[in-house]
Amino acid sequence: MSSTTPLLIVVSGPSGVGKDALLCQMKDLGYPYFFAVTATTRPQRPGETDGVDYHFITEAKFTDMIERGELLEWANVYGNLYGIPKKPVEQALVEGKDVIVRIDVQGAATIKRIAPHASLIFVSPPSMEELQRRLRERKTESPADLELRLKIAQREMETLPSFDYVVVSQKDGMDVAISQIEAIITAEKCRRRGLRFTVRLGGEPLNAEPWNLEPIDLPEVFLDGKEKIPGAASNQPAQ
């Protein structure tokens, strides 16, 4: 168990900006974070590994997971369903690991609502032209899907001001972006020292206060958004 409260870090940004490549590189470099694997109904692309890049599941199974409350967050992105299985995230937090989730901008907004202490990082392209170039060059979408993603990208860029941090993913600049994400995590860890921050995903509190610190009266955080401690400040997500 780490000596500081584990963080929930959201890495978001428009499709095609390079979030996956960034996080993949961080995994390969052995960063000690828990990288949540999303479940999706999107067809598997060549080169993707089930259980590593995504859990590729059927729509029926996805619906079942929604109904059982097994997803931390889910969204329909470009016509496919994407969602983060709750249990592995819960387990990682119990073990004191910092968790990184990679989600689209609507998912980031949901996480912020249900876990206000989550740290939101927006991965931005250096320009819209560069984003369009990257999306076209990766050739993973059908022409219609590509057009849809390009159209939505502009709107996704407009959500940037609601994020806590921005990392610009420069062409050939992955190392810089990774070290910036690392610096953000370090800064967030320093910031949280002294805060009373209890993460709950529905069961018992997962993490107690840091030691020897004056507790500050912050509301507990509920990732399932269902429970409320009597007397605690309102921390229910907006319905």
Binding site for ligand 5GP (CB under 6 A): 15, 19, 38, 42, 73, 75, 77, 82-84, 102-104, 106-107
**How many whole angstroms separate alpha carbon 158 and alpha carbon 176?**
23
Minimum CB–partner distance for residue 50 and ligand 5GP (Å): 13
The residue count for the chain? 239
**How many whole angstroms separate alpha carbon 167 and alpha carbon 184?**
10
- Is the Cβ of residue 107 or residue 125 nearer to ligand 5GP in the bound state? 107
Q: Which residue is nearest to ligand 5GP (CB)?
A: 107
Minimum CB–partner distance for residue 212 and ligand 5GP (Å): 37
Sign of the alpha-carbon torsion through 93, 3, 214, 191: negative
- Is the Cβ of residue 19 or residue 86 nearer to ligand 5GP in the bound state? 19
Q: Please report where in the chains the tokens 């860029």 appear, as a residue.
A: 157
Minimum CB–partner distance for residue 19 and ligand 5GP (Å): 6
What kind and span of H or E run contains 199? strand 199-200
- Is the Cβ of residue 4 or residue 86 nearer to ligand 5GP in the bound state? 86
What burial class does residue 16 get, using C-beta atoms within 10 Å of its C-beta: 0-12 exposed, 13-18 middle, 19+ buried?
buried
Minimum CB–partner distance for residue 60 and ligand 5GP (Å): 18
- Is the Cβ of residue 74 or residue 222 nearer to ligand 5GP in the bound state? 74
- Is the Cβ of residue 73 or residue 98 nearer to ligand 5GP in the bound state? 73
Minimum CB–partner distance for residue 107 and ligand 5GP (Å): 3
Pair type for strands 71-77 and 80-85: antiparallel
- Is the Cβ of residue 51 or residue 231 nearer to ligand 5GP in the bound state? 51
**How many whole angstroms separate alpha carbon 7 and alpha carbon 33?**
10
Nearest by Cα to 130 from 50, 18, 12, 4 = 18
**How many whole angstroms separate alpha carbon 183 and alpha carbon 134?**
26
Minimum CB–partner distance for residue 86 and ligand 5GP (Å): 11
